Structure 1
């Protein structure tokens, strides 16, 4: 799993939760590090924070990653529940989870992706 968040504390906390659920997690603080991580090892699912540094967004990063690595299931995470974020994520056809994350909500989304058979080899 690829996890991208520009907030180090949030990145580490979510990485621990996901690893506790049995996922192998590559954590990155920005798009460049995410791309580098995927060069080393592919990820079956991408969890991307919406607001990244340098005016980047998780939706834009996902589009770049799709061009470089092919499509993967992705979930956008955001502390911003505003209409601009909701519209951008909806138009991209992606699920949105609002921070602070409820672990059971995240687990439910991941379980639905797994049950749909869209994530090969995940826990």
Structure 2
């Protein structure tokens, strides 16, 4: 059985490190990109099993990034996207899901809930 490959696009280095370590202990291989440009490049280089996407990035809007991911050809455009963001308002969640996210987890979050999702 192959190890699930996850890509986390998150600018908060401390949060990313915590999530990467937690998910690694749970059997996932997680790569991290600190901004949208590096995240899209990583996605196109090696197709992950899941993208964990922050909405507020220094160089990109996470909603626009989700839209760009969904517009990619082939399997890359169908990769599951979980939005992990401080924007927890119900309308933000609805917009994220309507733009193609598969799930939406507001910060702060319980790491076990992330793992369960």
Q: TM (normalized to structure 1)? A: 0.76
- Is the aligned partner of 1:38 residue 2:40? no
Classify 1:39/1:73 alpha carbon distance in 2 versus 1 (closer, same or farther; 3 Å): closer
1:76 alignment partner, SS class: strand
| Superposition deviation, residue 82 in structure 1 | 2.4
1:92 aligns with 99
* TM-fit CA distance, 1:30: 0.9
* Partner of residue 3, structure 2: none
Counterpart-to-counterpart distance in 1, 2:70 and 2:89: 25
The CA deviation string for residues 55-83 of structure 1, in whole angstroms up to 9 with x for no partner, is x2222212222333321111101112224
**Residue 114 of structure 2 is aligned to residue 106 of structure 1:** yes
Q: 1:18 to 1:96 in 2, by over 3 A?
A: same
If each structure's strand is expressed as a fraction of its own residues, which one has the higher value?
Answer: 2
Aligned-residue Cα RMSD (Å) equals 1.7
The one-character-per-residue Cα deviations of 1:33-63 (angstroms, maximum 9, x if unpaired) are 1122224322111110111113x22222122
Distance (whole Å) between structure 2 residues aligned to residue 93 and residue 9 of structure 1: 27
Classify the secondary structure of the residue corresponding to 1:25. Answer: strand
Check the 8 A contact 2:66/2:100 in 1, yes or no: no
Kindly tell me the number of residue pairs found equivalent between the two proteins: 108
User: Secondary structure of 1:19's match?
Assistant: helix
Inter-partner Cα distance in structure 2 for 1:81 and 1:49: 12
Give the whole-Å Cα distance in 1 for the aligned partners of 2:80 and 2:43: 14
Q: TM-score, normalised by structure 2?
A: 0.80
Q: Indicate which of 61, 70, 81 corresponds to 2:88.
A: 81
